A and B are shown apart, each in its own frame.
Chain A
Amino acid sequence: DVVMTQSPLSLPVTLGQPASISCRSSQSLVHSDGNTYLNWFLQRPGQSPRRLIYKVSNRDSGVPDRFSGSGSGIDFTLKISRVEAEDVGVYYCMQATHWPRTFGQGTRVEIK
């Protein structure tokens, strides 16, 4: 199975400051069709997860442009340019290139 490793696991941030979460996979996420199926999700307290980013760097509809995804191969990053209060929650990366699908452990973002 592909192991997804996120860091850090806890991220205290100051409002208005940038934040960055790393996600590394144990093997390449490049699919035979040429796409890289790496998604990012946010789970706010008490809510279902919501997808923010798909195929590494594509923002979902309604996701603020302060969120951006980057990376390739096995190394990926989610960045928030200026953290807002509504960004608090747990962020997960997930690979959908290989079966079984696998998630990272989650990164808890909180306001300092």
Chain B
Amino acid sequence: EAQLLESGGGLVQPGGSLRLSCAASGFPFSIYGMNWVRQAPGKGLEWVSGIDGSATTTYHADSVKGRLTISRDNSKNTLYLQMNTLRLEDTAVYYCVRGVGGFDVWGQGTKVTVSS
């Protein structure tokens, strides 16, 4: 069974940094594109970043370009989100999601709180 397990969330001050990880298991990780999707408290879903299976191409929402960077290590079956220059509005639960188009497998999410 395909599973995704996020980690790395926590409390950080505005302007700070954090790196999220997503450990994948139960499927051939390197052939799947992956995404990060976030959900602010009480709000809807917002796509953040995507990456193809070979890490050749990445995509980011305009709201995070230049601050959040998606990457992956296929030898470790792990997806990452490097978060720099964090803002209050980045506070959210961050989900790791499989598939560039499918979005068929979701992790349980990791909570990021940006607050002074």
CA gap between A104 and B108 in the complex, in Å? 21
B9: CB under 8 A from chain A? no
Q: Is the CB of B103 within 8 A of A41?
A: yes
Q: Contacting chain A: which of B12-20, B24-32, B44-52, B69-77?
A: B44-52
CA gap between A110 and B44 in the complex, in Å? 17
Nearest-CB residue, chain B, relative to A100: B61
B102: CB under 8 A from chain A? yes
Interface size class, chain B: 20 to 34
Chain A 92-112 interface 0/1 with B at a Cβ cutoff of 8 Å (1 = within): 101011011111111000000
Known: A99-B59, A100-B61, A101-B35. A51 touches B47 (CB 8 A): no
Chain B residues near A99: list those with CB within 8 A.
50, 59
Known: A94-B45, A101-B35. A48 touches B109 (CB 8 A): yes
Nearest-CB residue, chain B, relative to A49: B106
A54: CB under 8 A from chain B? yes
Candidates B45, B60, B62, B106; contact of A50 at CB < 8 Å: B106
B35, B45, B47, B107 interface centre (most CB from chain A within 10 Å): B45
Interface residues of chain B: helix, strand, loop or mixed (majority)? loop
Q: Is the CB of B101 within 8 A of A37?
A: yes
Chain A 48-61 interface 0/1 with B at a Cβ cutoff of 8 Å (1 = within): 11110010000010
Candidates B44, B102, B106; contact of A96 at CB < 8 Å: B102
A5: CB under 8 A from chain B? no
Task: Tell me the smallest distance from the CB of B4 to a CB of chain A, in Å.
Answer: 9
The interface of chain B, by Cβ under 8 A from chain A, is: 35, 44-47, 50, 59-62, 95, 100-104, 106-109
Which 6 residue pairs of A and B lie closest in terms of their CB atoms, listed nearest first?
A: A96-B101, A101-B47, A48-B106, A103-B45, A106-B44, A37-B101
